[in-house]
Each structure stands twice: as C-alpha cells, then as structure tokens.
C-alpha cells in the first residue's frame, strides 16, 4: 500500500503498527487510540516535529492523530500537513484530522508542534480508499507566501477541502508573486503539467476567499467534462460599456468570466493545460497588435481580462458557469446572506433558486466583506 522513502523525527525512531518507536511515560511503546478514530489498517508513528516522505502505491485514506499517551499540559497540540496542505490541528487523541483520500504518488507528511514537542506523540493512520476512483481531481491553488503564512492566509480553503477529504495542491510556496499572468497562467500551466497520471481533472480556486462544499466526485460531475469558468455579475477589471455589453445575456446577471475558479479535464484537447496555453497565445498576439478587438485595452498582465478575452474570441470552447452549477461567486448582487434571493444557506451548502448546489464557492471582490457571515452559517449548518 505504501513505502517510506525517508523521515526525520524529533524524538525516538519512526515505528509502524502498534509501536511508538519510543517509551511514553504512561503507555510505554504502545499505540493507544479511542475506537472512533479508526478503523485503520496501518499506523506510522513519527514523534513531532516530523517529516515522512511516503510513496503510496494504491489509493489510500489518511488522517493525522495524537496517541493517547500525549500530554495535554505544556504540549501535545500539533498541525498536520500533507505536502503544503494543512489538513487540521489535533489537540488530543480523540480529535483526529479528517480522512484525506490520496491517489498513488509521493507525499510529504509533516507534523508541526503548535506549543512544544513535549507529548507531541503524532501518528499517521492509513487505510485503503474504498471509493475506487479511477479518474481523480487535482484541486489546486497558488500560495506565493512564506511557508509560515500559508496556514493563516489560506485557512478556509485548506480547512474546507480537508473536510471534504480532498487533497489541496498548493503551488508557488515561497516564490515571489510577480503578476497575475505570470503566476496564474504561465507558471500554473507548468505546475499542472507535472501532476501524475491518476489526475484526469483539475480545478483551480483562489486561495484566500474560497470554500469547498462538496466532495471530489460531485465536483467532477459538476464539471460535466467541459472546460468551465466561473461567472459573476461584476465586469472587472475593464468596466467600460463597450466591453461590458459584449457579455450581457438575457436572463442572468452572472455573465462575466471570473478567473478565481475554473476547471475541466486536465490533458484533453481544449482541456485545462490546452486552455492555459491558448490564453498565453492570445496574450502574445494581443501584445503584437494582431487582435483588433483587443487593441484599445492594456490589461496585459491581468489573468481575469485574459480569460474574458479568450472567452469572447471563441477560438477554444469555454463554458461560462452562469447558473452556478459548479462554481458560485458571492459578489456584487450576492454578497449579503440576508438580502439576496439568488442563493441561500441550507445546512452546510449554498443552494441556488434554480436548485443547483455548487460545490465550489468564491467570495471575490466585495464578497470578502461578508465572508465571515457566510462561514458562520455554513460551518455550523445554518
């Protein structure tokens, strides 16, 4: 099911099965967990702070936990990370992280101590992933921040993805964010091309102001095999009437492409990688003055304008998700929970008046001001 390539631990040795790899004051070398933390078939004990590089050979579900020997006073609380995806904090043995469903590949499992390493008796629990998916979704974002800022800055996307059991691929950690085009089109295309074969679909979501409200299979179904880009009611960054009127359509306010959420088949013709390459081609021709419709405009490095221009040119098939089938943008007309009839909070989901329950939600622009309001309702089911 897996093999360990290399590891470091703050204390003792890495151990498998029912052993800790060190002697705890109360339980000795034994793994001791409440029944509700399982079931699991394999256990990796790596005392925090720890790094474990693992190669998974078949689909697994994995979660972080603390052994029952951990000390609640003066230490014990830990952050659990899969690569650069923070999947949760664990305070004591009865509060493990969610299960994360991973396809075959290499992953860096990291545990950081939030207080001290005294009693940080961290464990990784694994079991076969029983959902037997053959075509996987890569949920992606860009995190061009110092590593120590990733958790705080991207907290809600990390947390909500983990709650759905989805691994989040965070690209660009520690890199300088040069401009929107370089990072969200050119660099992202290069990063996405490195994803291993199990990933047949990819979704990109901005990291600071988004939530995942549905599981992996639901997101794949909502994409419908299309290259889908989210839509909003605001025309940004170019708001001139001449530009705006090109998008307006009868029956909807959400008619402007929004670059904060999009996705589709990863490697298909006209899929994600093809589309990002085409956007780069559109930009090059625009810079050389060969696209007449774009000559008046100068948003060369704005990824949202480039998505809008590519959509208008109709040279590659892009479907605008104006009905919020997969992506909902809570901005402009939909920011306030108490004064919009476009959507409502129902349990832990957003429900549209057309019945759609979008699994990916973006609080772009003015929507950021009401992000906390929506979080309060969605986190606790209304």
- Per-residue pLDDT tens digits of the chain, which is 382 residues long: 899 999 999 999 999 999 999 998 878 899 999 999 999 999 999 999 999 999 999 999 999 999 988 776 556 689 999 999 999 999 888 899 999 999 999 999 999 998 777 778 999 999 999 877 789 999 999 999 999 999 999 999 999 999 999 999 999 999 999 999 999 999 999 999 999 989 999 999 999 999 999 999 999 999 999 999 999 988 999 999 999 999 977 667 789 999 999 999 999 999 999 999 999 999 999 999 999 999 999 999 999 999 999 999 999 999 999 999 999 998 776 666 666 667 888 889 999 888 999 999 999 876 677 888 888 888 766 5
Contact 202, 264 (CB under 8 A): yes
The CATH number of the domain covering residues in 2-128: 2.60.120.1060
Residue of 172, 181, 114, 113 lying closest to 147 (CA atoms): 172
241: Cβ contacts below 8 Å, ≥ 6 apart: none
- Can you tell me the distance from the alpha carbon of 38 to that of 58, in angstroms, rounded to the nearest whole number? 19
Q: Where in the chain is the domain with CATH 3.90.550.10?
A: 136-379
Query: Could you give the C-alpha distances from 83 to 86, 105, 112, 158, 176, in angstroms and in order?
Result: 8, 12, 12, 12, 19
Contact 127, 3 (CB under 8 A): no
- Can you tell me the distance from the alpha carbon of 162 to that of 165, in angstroms, rounded to the nearest whole number? 5
Query: Could you give the C-alpha distances from 203 to 97, 200, 263, in angstroms and in order?
Result: 23, 11, 4
Per the CATH hierarchy, to which homologous superfamily does domain 136-379 belong?
Spore Coat Polysaccharide Biosynthesis Protein SpsA; Chain A (3.90.550.10)
pTM: 0.95
Identify the helix (H) or strand (E) that includes residue 302: none
- Can you tell me the distance from the alpha carbon of 75 to that of 189, in angstroms, rounded to the nearest whole number? 42
In three-state secondary structure terms, 349 is strand
Q: Where in the chain is the domain with CATH 2.60.120.1060?
A: 2-128
- Can you tell me the distance from the alpha carbon of 364 to that of 360, in angstroms, rounded to the nearest whole number? 12
Give pLDDT, residue 320.
Answer: 96
């Amino acid at each position: 099911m897996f093999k360990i390539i290399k590891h470091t631990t703050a204390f003792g040795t890495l151990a498998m099965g029912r052993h800790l790899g060190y002697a705890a004051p109360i339980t000795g070398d034994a793994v001791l967990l409440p029944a509700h933390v399982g079931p699991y078939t394999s256990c990796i004990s790596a005392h925090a702070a720890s790094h474990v590089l693992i190669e998974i050979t078949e689909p697994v579900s994995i979660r972080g936990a603390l052994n029952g020997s951990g000390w609640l006073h003066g230490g014990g609380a830990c952050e659990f990370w899969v690569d650069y995806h923070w999947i949760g904090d664990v305070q004591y043995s009865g509060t493990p992280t969610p299960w994360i469903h991973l396809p075959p590949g290499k992953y860096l499992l990291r545990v950081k101590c939030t207080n001290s390493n005294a009693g940080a008796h961290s464990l990784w629990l694994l079991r076969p992933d029983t959902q037997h998916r053959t075509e996987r979704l890569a949920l992606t974002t860009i995190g061009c921040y110092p590593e120590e800022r990733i958790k705080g800055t991207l907290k809600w996307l990390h947390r909500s993805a983990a709650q759905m059991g989805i691994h989040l691929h965070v690209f660009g950690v520690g890199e300088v964010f040069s401009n929107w085009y370089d990072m969200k089109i050119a660099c992202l295309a290069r990063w996405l091309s490195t994803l291993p074969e199990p990933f047949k679909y990819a979704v990109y979501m901005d990291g600071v102001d988004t939530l995942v409200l549905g599981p992996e299979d639901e997101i794949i179904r909502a994409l419908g095999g299309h290259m889908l880009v989210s839509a909003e009611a605001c025309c940004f960054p170019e708001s001139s009437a001449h530009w705006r009127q090109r998008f307006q359509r009868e029956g909807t306010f959400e008619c402007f492409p929004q670059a904060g959420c999009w996705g589709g088949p990863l490697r298909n013709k006209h899929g994600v990688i093809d589309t990002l390459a085409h956007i780069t081609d559109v930009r090059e021709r625009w810079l050389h003055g060969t696209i007449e419709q774009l000559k008046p405009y100068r948003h060369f490095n704005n990824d949202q304008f480039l998505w809008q221009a590519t959509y208008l040119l109709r040279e590659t098939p892009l479907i605008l998700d104006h009905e919020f089938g997969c992506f909902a943008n809570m901005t402009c007309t939909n920011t306030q929970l108490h004064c919009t009839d476009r959507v409502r909070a129902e349990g832990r989901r957003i429900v549209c008046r057309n019945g759609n329950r979008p699994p990916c939600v973006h609080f772009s622009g003015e929507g950021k001001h009401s992000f906390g309001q929506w979080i309060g309702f969605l986190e606790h089911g209304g």
